[in-house]
Chain A
Amino acid sequence: KQEVTQIPAALSVPEGENLVLNCSFTDSAIYNLQWFRQDPGKGLTSLLLIQSSQREQTSGRLNASLDKSSGRSTLYIAASQPGDSATYLCAVSNFNKFYFGSGTKLNVKP
């Protein structure tokens, strides 16, 4: 069974800092990997989706990379802002199964 791990579980940084969130998975036979954001008491919002054939995706200050062979993905957030404070989850899919990590709770201090 696919296992998805996110490290660290929590991260606190000062505003303006660049940061990296990590996601690892045990089975490299994935179709895609998604990064989501979850605000307290809310649903998940998709940030970036990387297909298995891609190496990275970018959206604004966010950049996600994928290394299937090593079973890793990173989410890079540039120039962090207090509004980026949320829990970030990664999810992988393989053969119509979907597996989520437990998330990294990010706090960006003003």
Chain B
Amino acid sequence: DAGVIQSPRHEVTEMGQEVTLRCKPISGHDYLFWYRQTMMRGLELLIYFNNNVPIDDSGMPEDRFSAKMPNASFSTLKIQPSEPRDSAVYFCASSFLVQETQYFGPGTRLLVL
């Protein structure tokens, strides 16, 4: 398996624009997690899915953030409208069971100007 795949790897956009981050989990994994990493706040869990259903979105910072998982092999994290404080590295991870090892993707480095 190629591991967790994220795209794009880098994104530079202007404030107010819509940003869509994409993730393909490892095949067979039932859990998918979205994280955000910043110098100030470290690594934070935003939302996670089980069998394509959102289980806990309490980490989503604002209504500007939304996440979907239309099928077992694809998820998106959307920010609309984006703001400079959203600049961070966004990671996607997947696991077979919620309490087992999570496998992380390489991340998307987002810069909002």
Contacts and interface: CB of A to CB of B under 8 A. Distances in A.
Interface string B62-105: 00000000000000000000000000000101000011111111
B43 A100 contact: yes
A87 B98 CA distance: 24
Given A97-B56, A100-B43, A102-B42, A49 B106 contact: no
Given A31-B99, A44-B91, A97 B104 contact: no
A93 B48 CA distance: 13
Contacts of B99: 31-32, 51, 93
Given A97-B45, A103-B42, A46 B98 contact: no
A110 interface: no
A94 to B, nearest CB: 10
A60 interface: no
A99 B111 CA distance: 25
A49 to B, nearest CB: 5
A104 B59 CA distance: 24
A75 interface: no
Given A96-B55, A96-B56, A96-B98, A46 B103 contact: yes
Nearest to B101: A46
Q: How large is the interface on B (under 10, 10 to 19, 20 to 34, 35 or more residues)?
A: 20 to 34
A43 B104 contact: yes
B107 interface: yes
Contact of A43 (B55, B56, B91, B101): B91
A49 B103 CA distance: 12
B42 A101 contact: yes
B29 to A, nearest CB: 13
Interface in A41-61: 41-46, 49, 51
Interface of A: 31-32, 34, 36, 41-46, 49, 51, 89, 91, 93, 96-98, 100-103
11 contacts: A31-B99, A32-B99, A43-B105, A46-B102, A93-B98, A96-B55, A96-B98, A98-B33, A98-B45, A100-B43, A100-B44
